Amino acid sequence: MSRQPEGPPPPPVVQRLRVHYTKRGRLRFISHRDFARAFERALHRSGVPIAFSAGFSPHPKVSYAGAAPTGAASEAEYLEIGLAERSDPESVREALDAALPAGLDVVRVVAAEPDGPALADRIEASTWRIRLPGVAPETGEAALASFLALDELKVERATKQGPREVDARAAIVAGWPGDPRSEADSLPCATLEVVVRHLTPAVRPDDVVTALRRAAGLSTPAAPVATRLAQGLLDAAPPQAAMQLVDPLG
């Protein structure tokens, strides 16, 4: 017979809250695993009545959706938590925001609809801003146009299982030039914004930059900086410049 944990089972989930948070500044270099540990510590410090799984190693009821890659900043990260006691979403937001380090900022907390779609089903694409320090705006714009004119462009990515090819062009729904202003006045800076559909394998911002280099011979003298601006569902309207995604939290 299998062993069973002693004591009563943990309280059931009575409320699900969806959390919109950011990853800014130096915190963009935190890995998803490190963020998960930091978030669980914040749950403990904040006193939020998180529900736990059953078994010998209970885990807090937290579901993550489409975490940004290490090194990328984000204004639009999402997760869902299950609570053992009903709580006011704004009070939960304030408690979590106070318990997390600056840069991991909780923007919104909303109650999930009991019979609504799962959070992951409300996210199918991301809007990314890619800044290219040292690249003239017109050069970046021309590279993006050359890339978008292609039907396919495969790039190679290093993985734990070895090199793997992904079709960077297949994931791009739309793209346009962004604000060219640079944080460093001495350098020109091209800024590009692209809507990237979430495919398997995922196409990341560094894959897009690699594709720009291949499509137009683009040279990037400084490290590109990527920031996720939004996640959500694609609008039913045809793709167009500066298209908006449907907010996953409503």
Q: What is the CA radius of gyration of the chain?
A: 20
> How many C-beta atoms lie closer than 10 Å to residue 181's C-beta?
10
Beta-carbon contacts of 247 under 8 Å, excluding residues fewer than 6 positions away, are: 230, 232
Q: Does residue 150 lie within any of the structural domains? A: yes
CATH of the domain at 139: 3.30.70
Per-residue pLDDT for the chain (250 aa), expressed as one digit of tens each? Answer: 455 556 677 889 999 999 999 999 999 999 999 999 999 999 999 999 999 998 778 899 999 998 899 999 999 999 999 999 999 999 999 999 999 999 999 999 999 998 899 999 999 999 999 999 999 999 999 999 999 999 999 999 877 778 889 999 999 999 999 876 655 556 789 999 999 999 988 999 999 999 999 999 999 999 999 999 999 999 866 555 567 899 999 8
pLDDT at 179: 79
Tokens for 127, please give them: 């809007």
* Burial grade of 66 (CB within 10 A; 0-12, 13-18, 19 or more): buried
Q: With the CA atoms of 31, 37, 38 and 43 taken in that order, what torsion angle do they form, in degrees rounded to the nearest 10?
A: 140
**How many domains is the chain partitioned into structurally?**
2
Do residues 129 and 187 share a domain?
Answer: yes
pLDDT at 157: 84
Residue 250 contacts residue 116 (beta carbons within 8 Å):
no
Which candidate, 198, 16, 14, 229, places its Cα nearest to that of 130? 229
Tokens for 103, please give them: 């840069």
pTM of the model: 0.91
CATH of the domain at 110: 3.30.70.580
Sign of CA dihedral 241, 202, 123, 101: negative
Do residues 127 and 112 share a domain?
Answer: no
* Burial grade of 146 (CB within 10 A; 0-12, 13-18, 19 or more): middle
Q: Does residue 10 lie within any of the structural domains? A: no
Do residues 60 and 143 share a domain?
Answer: no
pLDDT at 118: 94
Instruction: Report the alpha-carbon distance of residue 206 to residue 117 in Å, rounded.
Output: 31
> How many C-beta atoms lie closer than 10 Å to residue 31's C-beta?
12
Do residues 24 and 95 share a domain?
Answer: yes
Owning domain of residue 205? 123-246
pLDDT at 1: 44
